[in-house]
Structure 1
Amino acid sequence: MFPEYRDLISRLKIQDEHFARIFHRHNELDQQIKNMEAGILASHGSEVEQLKKEKLQLKDSLYLILKKAANA
């Protein structure tokens, strides 16, 4: 995710607690969705879709933080 910001992501995960929390939650959701789609975890289609929406919202938030930090 966002390879162009790899160094900045590493720095923000250490320096910005809010960013680190959002980043961690995004990764948790990503793994949960993968497990549901692979049949490792039980799920309903609507549940997966809701998790995907939450994951996308987190990704948008991460991107905005990264853009702001890159321009600072």
Structure 2
Amino acid sequence: MLGENHALIFDFPEYRDVIHHLKETDEAFAQLAKEYHELDHKIRGLEVNAVPTTDENFVALKSRRVALKDELHKRLLNGHGG
């Protein structure tokens, strides 16, 4: 769905408290979460506003978002950022 918000708390609601805790206590997790959030915002902006971009750029942005999400999910499963 175009423009769908993929914020971590929406995609992983069962980890809401862990996400908040790690953002406050783990600098590496917080940095990855910030990059993920900014990238998701950029992708949604491109989709919703129909901003022209190349397919290669769009795929690269979405691929990076998936890689970040996978890394963040692994850290959430550990229950700590590392």
TM above 0.5, yes or no, is yes
1:11-56 CA-partner distances (Å, limit 9, x unpaired): 0000000000000100111011111122364421211110000000
After the TM superposition, list the runs of 4 or more consecutive aligned residues in structure 1 that deviate by more than 3 angstroms: 39-42
1:63 aligns with 2:73: yes
Q: TM-score, normalised by structure 1?
A: 0.88
SS at match of 2:79: helix
Return the offset for 1:65.
Answer: 0.4
Alignment: residue pair count:
70
1:32 aligns with 2:42: yes
User: Could you say what the CA RMSD is over the residues aligned between the two structures, in angstroms?
Assistant: 1.4
Give the share of equivalent positions with the same residue, in percent. Answer: 36
Q: Which runs of 5+ in 2 are unaligned?
A: 1-10
Q: Which runs of 5+ in 1 are unaligned?
A: none
